[in-house]
Chain A
Amino acid sequence: MNEMFFGPRQATLRRVTQQRLLSEFAQWGYDEISTSLLQQLDPAQLTDRQWERACKWFGHAGRIHALRTDMTLSILQALIKQPADNFPERVCYVGSVVRQASAADSAPSEILQAGVELMGYGGVWADAEVLALAARSLESLGVSGLRIGIGQASFQRGLFSELQLPASAATVLQQALAARDLVSYRDIASSFDGSTRQALGTLPDLLGGPEVLQHASKLAQGLEVTNALQNLQDVYKLLSSYHLEHLVYFDLGMVRDFSYYSGSIFEAFLPGLGRPVLTGGRYDELLEVIGVNTPATGFAINLDLVVSSLGSPEQRNIASYSLLASSSHELQCFKLADTLRQKGLLAAVDYRPISIENKALSAQSRGFIPVLVDEAGCWQLSKEGEKLCKLVID
C-alpha cells in the first residue's frame, strides 16, 4: 500500500490549497459537487486501461464494485441520473481517486484531485475558458514557472486519415505515442514512403510556440486537420487576451492516456516535479458512451503534487496559549482555556505529568505561548520556564 500521512502543518496547507482552488473555481461560476468513492462498474463503458487500473471486487448478484478511479467518469455517471433540466453547466470538485499501478508488483495509490467540468457547449470558447481557469487557478497558489502544453486529438486523427493509413497502423502509431515510445513510432513511420513517412516523422517534433501550428499546416490540408489547427490558433488568441500566452506551448504529438478525449487535450507542468500537475481536455465521446449527447471539457489537478511545490506551510497567525497545568491547578487551567477561546484566541491545556520546564519547551516548539497558572495568578513563561510577566485577562 502507498500509504499517505500529512502532519499537522502539511494537512493544513493541503486543506488551504483545496480551499483556494475551490474559491477560484467558484469565482468563475463553477458549483462544487461531490460523488461517492464507491462506484458500480460497467465493463462495457470502460477502456481496457480503465478496467485494469480499477481496484474492484464482486458484490451481491455478481455486481462489480470499485473504488473511484476517475473523477470525470464518476461525476458524469452521477449527473445523467439527474433530471435533464437539472443538468448543470459548470461543476467543480475535490476528491480522491484510487488506481491500481500498471506494474503487477506495485501497490495501488490514492490521488487527491481538484478540478472542473464545463458541459453543454464545446468549441473554442469552452477550450479557452477551461485553459484560462487552469492557468489562473494554479497561479492563484503562487507557483512559479508554470507551463501549459496544448495538443489536439482530432489533429492526429485527421492527419492519419488524410495519409490513408491502414486502421491497424494508425492504432499502433497511437499506442506508441501514448506509451511515449518514439523509437517504435519512428520505426513504424519509416516503413511508409515519401511524404507519408515525412509527415509521420515530423509529428513528434511539433512541440513549441505558435510557429508549430504553421509547420503542422504544411503536413495536411484536410478539413479535420485545418479545423483542429484553427481551434488551437483561436484558443491561443483568446488566451493572449488574458495575457496567458507566455505560459502556453503546443504539443501535437500529445496523446492522453484516456481514449475518451476527442478535441483539445492539455497538461501543465511546474519545474522540478517531473510529472504533470494538471491534465485535461475535451471528452465529448465519453459522454456519448455513457448516453449523454453534449460537449464537455475539464481538467484535474494533482493536488499533492502541487502542494509539494508550495514550500513551507504557514504558521498559525492568531495568539496561541498553552496552559501548563500543575497538579493542583488543572481546574483553573480548564476554565481559563474556555475564557481565552471565548475571546477568539487559541488555547490548549498541557495536562502531561512532566516538569513545567519541559512543558514550556514543548509549547514554544509548537508555536504556543507557555502560560503557568498558580496561586498568584497567570504568568507568561520564557522557553526556559521562567516567569516573564503576569498575564492579565479581563
Chain B
Amino acid sequence: MQTGNRLTIALPKGRLLTKCLELLQSAGIDTGNVSEDSRKLIFSLADNGTRFVLMRPTDVPVYVEQGAADLGITGKDVLLESRLDVYELLDLRFGVCRFVLAAPAAMQDPVSWPATPRVATKFPRIAGDYLQNRSISARLIKVHGATELAPNVGMADMIVDIVSTGKTLAENNLVVLDEIMQSSARLIGNRASLPLKNARIKPILAALDALINGRER
C-alpha cells in the first residue's frame, strides 16, 4: 500500500539496471545508492520521499498495476507478454532487441515447412499473436530459456526469440526468417498514481522526455 505522497519506482534487476540508473541520473533524478551489489531490494531516499525497489523485469508491471509502485522500468517484450493494465509512458530507447522468427537454414523457404510447424518460444503471447496475424497454423511450445536449443535437438521446427547481435543464432546454425518487432525499455506508470501524484510524476516524465526526445512538455 502506498501512503501519502511518497513515490515508489520499480527497477529491473539484471542487465537493464545499470542503464536505468545512468539514464535517471543524467535526467537529474537522484537514485541514491541503488545498486545490485548489496542484497537490499528497497532503497529509500530520505530527502524527497522517493523509494526505489528492485525486482525481476517480469515483476515490474505486476507491482505497477497493483499500485505497489507508481512508476517502473521494464522491456516492451515484458509488457506485451504480461498484458497488464498500466500506462506505457515513454520509450527509453535502451535495451533494444529484435523479436524474430528463426529456423535452421534448410527451412528458409516456407515450402519446406511441415504442415503444422512446432515453434519453441519464451514468449507464447507475442509468438501466438504474430503467427495468427500471418495466418500460420503452428503448435507453440513454451520453454524458459536457451530457445535456440529446441530446433537442434528436434523438439521444434522454428523459434520465436529476442536477438540483439544475432551471434547466438549463428552459433546454433539458425537464420532469421522474419522480423517480428523491436523491443526496448519503457517507463510505465500506475493508473491511479498518474492523477493522484501528478505533481511528483510530471517533472520526472518531463526530464526524461527532454533527455531522450528533446521534447518540451
Contacts and interface: CB of A to CB of B under 8 A. Distances in A.
A149 interface: yes
A271 interface: yes
Contacts, number: 60
Interface string B153-193: 00000000000000000000000000000000010001111
A149 B194 CA distance: 11
Interface string B51-82: 00000000000000111100000000000001
A288 B185 CA distance: 43
B91 A183 contact: yes
Interface in B183-216: 186, 190-196, 198
Given A182-B89, A276-B191, A269 B198 contact: no
B87 interface: yes
Nearest to B192: A269
B149 interface: no
A190 B86 CA distance: 22
B134 interface: no
A249 interface: yes
- Which of B65, B186, B196, B198 counts the most A-chain CB atoms under 10 A from its CB? B196
B195 A182 contact: no
Contacts of B90: 182-183
A274 interface: yes
Contact of B217 (A205, A272, A273, A276): A205
Contact of B87 (A145, A182, A269, A276): A182
B83 interface: yes
Contacts of B67: 272-275
How many chain A residues sit at the interface, stated as a range, is 20 to 34
Contacts of B193: 274
Nearest to B3: A272
A102 B89 contact: no
Contacts of B91: 183
Contact of B88 (A102, A145, A149, A181): A181
Contacts of B195: 147, 149, 207, 249, 251, 269
B186 A180 contact: no
Nearest to B85: A180
A249 B68 CA distance: 23
A204 to B, nearest CB: 9
B2 A272 contact: yes
A29 interface: no
A277 to B, nearest CB: 9
A103 interface: yes
B1 interface: yes
Nearest to B2: A272
Interface in A190-223: 205, 207-208
A182 B192 contact: no
Interface in A156-213: 179-184, 205, 207-208
A183 B196 contact: no
B194 A207 contact: yes
Nearest to B4: A271
Given A182-B89, A183-B88, A208-B198, A273 B192 contact: yes
Contacts of A180: 85-88, 191
A179 B1 CA distance: 24
A182 B88 contact: yes
A275 B191 contact: yes
A271 B196 contact: yes
A205 B216 CA distance: 12
B204 to A, nearest CB: 14
Contacts of B4: 271
Contacts of B82: 103
Nearest to A277: B192
A182 B3 CA distance: 27
B2 A271 contact: yes
Contacts of A104: 125
Contacts of A182: 87-90
B132 to A, nearest CB: 12
Contacts of B198: 207-208
A249 B199 CA distance: 13
Given A207-B194, A207-B195, A272-B3, 17 more contacts: A102-B83, A103-B82, A145-B196, A180-B191, A182-B87, A183-B91, A184-B88, A207-B198, A269-B195, A271-B3, A271-B196, A272-B67, A273-B67, A274-B190, A274-B192, A275-B191, A276-B191
18 contacts: A104-B125, A145-B196, A147-B195, A181-B88, A182-B90, A183-B90, A184-B88, A269-B192, A269-B195, A269-B196, A272-B2, A273-B192, A274-B66, A274-B68, A274-B191, A274-B192, A276-B191, A276-B192
Interface of A: 102-104, 145, 147, 149, 179-184, 205, 207-208, 249, 251, 269, 271-276
Interface of B: 1-4, 65-68, 82-83, 85-91, 125, 186, 190-196, 198, 217
